[in-house]
A and B are shown apart, each in its own frame.
Chain A
Amino acid sequence: MTRRQRYEAAQRRRSLIIAGTSTALVIAAIVIFVPMAPGWEKVQRSFFNGGVLADTFPKLLEAFKVNVMIFALCAPAIAILGLLIALARDAKSPAFFPLRIFGAAFTDVFRGVPVILTVYLIGFGIPGLGLPRPYNSPYIWGSLALILTYSAYVAEIFRSGIESVHNSQRSAALSLGLSERQVMRDVILPQAVRNVVPSQMNMLIALQKDVSLLSFIGPVEIFRQAGVFKSLTANFTPYVGAAIIFLIVTIPATRYADYLMAKQRKARS
């Protein structure tokens, strides 16, 4: 071992010890000082009540299936619609001008309106026009509201991906005799989509949580189920239970998105 290596190893050991000590101190401070707060016992009874958690957790897990189902139906539809909108906004031919206008208006409107308002308007409004059952189900129209809103965001991300592919590639492909459609499908999109995968992962995580907004128009998913238990027991612990279930799903997804981004950064540098 050279002198420099020895020095660096010592430095690493030193920073490890400092990091470990400071983390331990912070955790100890939380564990020791928070319970010393005068209201801690009440907070504990209201938010971290073991008995209530044990009673409600299995039913919360059951209700989470509804979230997963709605999510699984919405995600592919969002990906497809989002891509179509992005392509519409990117259409080059003057004949497609109405399409471009439509794409721009769509993203402006659905990105600008709060999701919950869209859910209310579409979830109660369209069935209110007089659709027969089961076509007036809040599950269908609530999901559509999510699909429209998220497509607008996803379309913008796809568009930024498309623009990230340098124009020279388009020109080069055209000069090789590829048609506009082939250029988009075989040259630009494969790169564009790959470039935006990490950003789209973040949208998936956000969608995962926003599925809960459908609870406002009737579906009994995990957030609503937790709310019901909250009012029956006058205790907030069921919300904490729901948060735990969400974290079990979103933490691995977030880590994976971070990993993808780090990989992409490395590949670029």
Chain B
Amino acid sequence: MSRILSLSAMSLALMSTTAFAGGHCAAGKTLTEGTLTIATGNPAYYPWVIDDAPESGQGFEAAVAYAVAAEMGFAADDVTWVRTSFDEAIQPGAKSFDVNIQQYSITAARDEMVDFSTPYYTAPMAVLVGPGAVDTAATLDALRDLKWGVMGSTTALPKIEIVIQPTDDPLIYSDNADVNAAMSANQIDAALFDLPTALFLSAVMIEGSKVVGQFAPDMTDNPDQFGMLMEEGSSLKACVDEALAAITENGTLAAIEATWLQDTTGVPLIK
């Protein structure tokens, strides 16, 4: 029985490789043969995905996803999008996606439970302050006295606790919208986000707020690097890493970053 199975698996693999260009790396490793299933957040936020429509390829992560897929030999039509929460991405058992891209910071602890690709973006952390605290200086001393709020599902919380060490314990929220509500209600002065998200929130979501500064990468021992998430032990990881290396090498990644992520040098560094 097992012989028949492995024979049919082999013939299937042979059949599918012939459908692609020679040496196709992802053959037989995706959920659906010939299709790359990519997951993102629900909703997916600007500037990572524009208008919550990753299928358009608009937005930094959507564009990176299509570039990686193309490098792996998948045409744009062969990419399917699904949505997952963070919890769905880390739950044990069968996954609904091949790769998951939604600003996942790579950490050693997380890496024990799931697989990450090599980083596709290094995100500086930035401080967003509400209307009541826009005059705060970009120094650690001034930031320490603010009332902090943060999204609980991000790596921003340990950064606040280790780098800023605020006098008051931070309040913790589930998503951007709740941080926004707390800031509007003046329950918090400041929140820590990755820089592109902070710029977006300050420009569009939270009236009167301002990005007062960003942290230089060496200010934290572990800079926030975003990686694509895959099932622990995923056989696809090597292909994704290879594709990411290729688009970094040929400048595609830098071009995508220039297109979708605002120039961030204008935001002062926190001293």
Contact = CB atoms under 8 A, between A and B. Distances in A.
Contact of B182 (A124, A131, A231): A124
**Chain B interface mostly:** loop
Contacts of A215: 172
B185 A231 contact: no
Contacts of B92: 39, 42-43, 45-47
A219 B171 contact: yes
A218 B172 contact: yes
A127 B152 contact: no
Interface residues of A, number: 33
Contact of A231 (B152, B169, B181): B152
Interface stretch (B23-31, B33-41, B106-114, B249-257): B106-114
Given A39-B92, A127-B187, A233 B171 contact: no
Chain A contact surface mostly: helix
A215 B175 CA distance: 12
B171 A138 contact: yes
A128 interface: yes
Interface string A79-107: 00000000000000000000000000000
B74 interface: no
Interface in B106-134: 107, 109-110, 112-114
- Which of B112, B152, B154, B169 has the most C-beta atoms of chain A within 10 angstroms of its own C-beta? B152
A45 to B, nearest CB: 7
A218 B182 contact: yes
A127 B109 contact: no
Q: Which of B90, B169, B172, B178 has the most CB of A within 10 A?
A: B172
* Chain B interface residue number, banded: 35 or more
Contact of A234 (B113, B147, B152): B113
Interface string A196-236: 00000000000000000001111110001001101111111
Nearest to A235: B113
Given A39-B93, A43-B92, A46-B92, A220 B169 contact: yes
A224 B172 contact: yes
A233 B172 contact: no
A232 B187 contact: no
A137 B112 CA distance: 38
Contacts of A131: 186
Contacts of B90: 46, 234-236
B20 interface: no
B63 interface: no
In this complex, the member of A42, A46, A215, A231 whose beta carbon has the largest number of chain B beta carbons within 10 angstroms is A231
A243 to B, nearest CB: 16
B59 interface: no
B185 A232 contact: no
Interface in A224-267: 224, 227-228, 230-236
30 contacts: A42-B232, A46-B92, A124-B178, A124-B182, A127-B185, A127-B186, A127-B187, A128-B185, A130-B186, A133-B147, A136-B185, A138-B171, A216-B174, A218-B149, A218-B188, A224-B172, A227-B153, A228-B153, A228-B157, A231-B152, A232-B109, A232-B158, A233-B109, A233-B113, A234-B109, A234-B110, A234-B113, A235-B109, A236-B87, A236-B91
Interface of A: 39, 42-43, 45-47, 124-125, 127-128, 130-133, 136-138, 215-220, 224, 227-228, 230-236
